Amino acid sequence: MSLDLSKFAALQKSSKQSFFQQKKLVTQVLAGQKVLCQECQQPLKFSSSEQAEHSGIFCPKGCTDIQLDCS
């Protein structure tokens, strides 16, 4: 699996603070650390594009949905 975080950066233009938060969160999840959704406190999961329509970081309830464009 290759994941280019610079492409992730291109998807997150709106808020600098949330970009850094999300990038940190993505990095932690990809490193195998347990990270909880801030909304529902459920563990976040990484899904690759083979497993889902988009690769990204998701929580079970869908309140966290960070899409990563790996194509």
**Distance of closest approach, residue 44 Cβ to Zn ion, in angstroms:** 8
Q: How far is the CB of 10 from Zn ion (least distance, A)?
A: 24
Question: In this chain, which stretch among 2-10, 12-20, 35-43, 46-54 interacts with Zn ion, using CB under 5 A?
Answer: 35-43
Least spacing, CB of residue 41 vs Zn ion, in Å: 7
Nearest alpha-carbon partner for 47 in 38, 60, 37: 60
d(CA 36, CA 52): 20
Task: Give the CA angle between residues 35, 9, 49 to the nearest 5°.
Answer: 65
Q: Is 65 in the site for Zn ion (CB under 5 A)?
A: no
